[in-house]
């Protein structure tokens, strides 16, 4: 961490006296909010400092977790439907966040966003095999034969071949499903192939990340420990 006024001087914003004036007149922002206290300690690599709207020291890297509710499409824009971008705080709007993968409109739960293109591509790459755990309510009852079929790798009705997955029955009409890929409507289609129509679906975990107590419709930044674990895979 370092003092904001020192960072501004080192970034070429001006001399110490000039920086003091810049701060006093509200021309400096930290993470989108005006900051007048030069003694404030900041993380130069983890926070965005701007002068008159121009970012100093490069764009802030951000990775965010959202607890997605039903009724929102995973897209950066859509003329006809509400998008997940509308759920993020406006203070992040200028950081060019993009969804990491997708959840369909009627699926709830954990969805990541980042403006780090390299990280995004690593996380969605089929070679990465990031495990994802879903909770499903469905028609019918999952049994040991269904679990064995998931473990062997299902072939869906359209010929799509799925990698081995885990199906854990929880009780009448409830199951946990663990997959390591992200084909279109995959969990719903896998369950349907075994005669079980999914009526509710929630992603609860991605890699080592879990929703915890994050309320539905709310978002937060990942902690340094969570980000390190995510990058380790």
**Angle of helix 117-124 relative to helix 224-232, nearest 10 degrees?**
50
Q: Is 104 a catalytic residue?
A: yes
Number of domains in the chain: 3
pLDDT at 176: 98
Same domain, 139 and 202: yes
Task: Assess contact for 221 and 161: CB atoms under 8 A.
Answer: no
Find the DSSP H helices in the chain.
4-10, 16-24, 117-124, 144-152, 186-193, 224-232
Q: Which CATH number do you get for residue 73?
A: 3.30.70.580
pLDDT, tens only, 41-98? 987 767 888 999 888 875 667 899 999 999 999 999 999 999 999 999 987 876 789 9
Same domain, 118 and 225: yes
Task: Assess contact for 138 and 195: CB atoms under 8 A.
Answer: no
**What is the domain range of residue 19?**
2-56
Mean local confidence (pLDDT), 13-19: 87
Per annotation, catalytic residue among 78, 104, 116, 146: 104
Tell me the CA end-to-end span of the chain in Å, nearest whole number: 27
Q: Which CATH number do you get for residue 149?
A: 3.30.70.1560
Judge whether residue 211 has pLDDT over 80.
yes
Q: Which CATH number do you get for residue 15?
A: 3.10.290.10
Same domain, 52 and 67: no
């Amino acid at each position: 961490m370092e003092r904001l006024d020192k960072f501004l001087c080192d970034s070429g914003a001006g001399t110490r006296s000039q920086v003091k004036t810049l701060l006093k007149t509200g021309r400096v922002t930290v993470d989108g909010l005006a900051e007048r206290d030069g003694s404030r300690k900041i993380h130069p690599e983890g926070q965005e400092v701007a002068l008159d709207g121009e970012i100093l020291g490069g764009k802030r890297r951000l990775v965010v977790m959202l607890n997605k509710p039903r009724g929102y499409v995973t897209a950066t824009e859509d003329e006809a439907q509400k998008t997940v971008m509308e759920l993020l705080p406006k203070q992040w709007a200028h950081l060019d966040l993009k969804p990491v993968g997708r959840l369909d409109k009627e699926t709830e739960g954990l969805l990541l966003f980042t403006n780090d293109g390299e990280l995004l591509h690593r996380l969605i790459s089929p070679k990465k095999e990031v495990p994802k755990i879903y909770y499903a309510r469905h028609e019918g009852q999952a049994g040991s034969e269904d679990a064995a079929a998931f473990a062997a790798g299902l072939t869906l009705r359209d010929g799509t071949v799925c990698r081995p997955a885990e199906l854990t029955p929880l009780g009448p009409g409830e199951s946990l499903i663990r997959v390591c890929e992200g084909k279109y409507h995959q969990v719903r289609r896998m369950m349907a192939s075994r005669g079980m129509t999914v009526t509710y679906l929630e992603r609860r975990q991605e890699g080592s990340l879990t929703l915890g107590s994050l309320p539905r419709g709310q978002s937060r930044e990942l902690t340094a420990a969570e980000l390190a674990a995510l990058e380790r895979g």
